[in-house]
Amino acid sequence: MKNHFHLICRSDKLVNAVSSIKSYSAKRIIQQLKEDNRFDILKVFEQNKLPSKNDRKYQIWQEGFHPQELANEKIYRQKLNYIHNNPITAGYVGDILKWKYCSALDYYEGREGIIKLDCFT
């Protein structure tokens, strides 16, 4: 998605895991924008930085996250289908197998997609 991502993961330290993902990806996004001379986008990230965040120049990710426990197989499947259909709902593609940042290939085709993952099926 252009402005968010969905993730199903398991961790004893979920806050730390999500924090690591956001920190690493923010650094890579900033690095890529600099390499591409996209200082216009970096300026937006700089302007959107929360005043209380004195440890950084840019605000890439929104603060916090919204974890939901997937207590059983039915809820897990519902969330997985929601995630896979999100690019269709947003109008990016007409087929979930066409969205390259989706795990649908892994789950439905048995092929490895662009993002390496361990399926919980």
Q: What spatial distance separates the first Cα and last Cα of the chain, rounded to whole Å?
A: 24
Q: Report residue 46's pLDDT band, with 50, 70 and 90 as the boundaries.
A: very high
Give pLDDT, residue 120.
52
Mean pLDDT, residues 33-59: 93
Inform me whether the pLDDT recorded for 37 exceeds 90.
yes
Give pLDDT, residue 29.
95
Give pLDDT, residue 63.
85
Which amino acid, one-letter code, is at 21? I
Contact predicate 78/90, CB 8 Å: no
Mean pLDDT, residues 36-56: 92
Of residues 59 and 111, more confidently modeled: 59
Question: Residues 6 or more apart from 99 whose CB is under 8 A from it?
Answer: 87, 88, 92, 93
